[in-house]
Structure 1
Amino acid sequence: MQLIYIKMRPNYAVGFYDTKNEGKSVQRKDNIRLSFNSPFRPFVLATTSIGQEGLDFHYYCRKIVHWNLPSNPIDLEQREGRINRYKCLAIRQNIANKYGDINFDADIWTEMLEAANKLEKNNDMCELVPFWCLPDNQEVKIERIVPVYPLSKDGAKYERLIKILSLYRLSLGQARQEELLEYLFENNIKEEELKQLFMNLSPFYK
């Protein structure tokens, strides 16, 4: 009997950072990113702000835990944008739930996406449907997890951050954006009045 030894990574969770070995930088972030973007280990990826922008972690991940809250809504969207991307896991799971029982000829994923592209959008919808978002209520969603400790300021900070998140697009292209947001936030502008200030940039409709 011939024994075959297969090396397997035992890491359940890893940190996303570079290491140094005898003064030389060892590039490990690319390997970790490729491993995390697979169905196999590691299943948990811990990172600082270096993993906040410009990286894809969406292939097999739809939950994000904010161990600390950012100071502005743009950073919050940048963090969550790592898993809320083109053909992300949540989108694929929703499409599989609705179209997984179709009769396919060759590539089931290609044919499921083609079926969703044909049936999920009408003439008024743009090309973001169904690859970035779906028009109906999605059974599977991207989850935001924010641990709030008792008697901490995180609860109030989170509520304020979410409220500003819904307003900050009003300030795009405006001078003194932070002052405008603070004014809207502190003066409790009514929702009907805010709707008159918004431009409709919804990805669902042209």
Structure 2
Amino acid sequence: MPKNEEQNQELRDARKEQILQAALIVFARRGMAATKISDIAKEAGLSHGLVYHYFDSKDEIFSMLVKKAANSSIEIIQKAIEHMGTPLEKLKWMTEQILNNLIDTEHTFLFLIMIQASTSDAIPNEVKEFLTKDNALSPVDATLPMIVAGQEEGEIISANPVTLAVTYFAFIQGLAINKIQWPECPIPDANMLMKIFTKE
């Protein structure tokens, strides 16, 4: 690729990322239904037309953010599965990573985007299809093998593993929402969360 073309591509990529970052903030604060392209353009400090130059619609932008959030969640769970240690140690390591990420605004907003995608009727059809397709692995499904293995080794309490996984992510989502509403919200350490699941 010639140098100028390479530079142009870098500029296009940077501009798209700028728009996505702005959209993340606006969607997190206003929700999918209430957000307009003009709101995203204003947050990004760009013209309305320039946003449309890079994206066809707010639906396309929202879909890209949902995919980014979903991939980020699954990636951290897969890293935890590959991490050294017992199932409980893997779960604790994953919890530490997630809680540390909540200190970072972008990760917190991505959690909120996923909550919106899972609960709002206003989300684009593309997002609904992405979240319900057969090969889409939810964080709950991806975490189940660790929980079941921990139960088999006597580390994790004997309860329905799906219920435990749902409870785990409900805690995480609740903390993410609190962090957005109250930026100084204290985040518990992983040990506090692990006590709920650890067999005495």
The verdict on a shared fold, with TM-score over 0.5 as the criterion, is no
Larger Rg, first or second structure (1 or 2) = 1
Larger RCO of the pair (alpha carbons < 8 Å, separation 6+) = 2
Identify the structure with the greater helix proportion. 2
- For normalisation by structure 1, the TM-score amounts to 0.27
Identify the structure with the greater strand proportion. 1
- For normalisation by structure 2, the TM-score amounts to 0.28
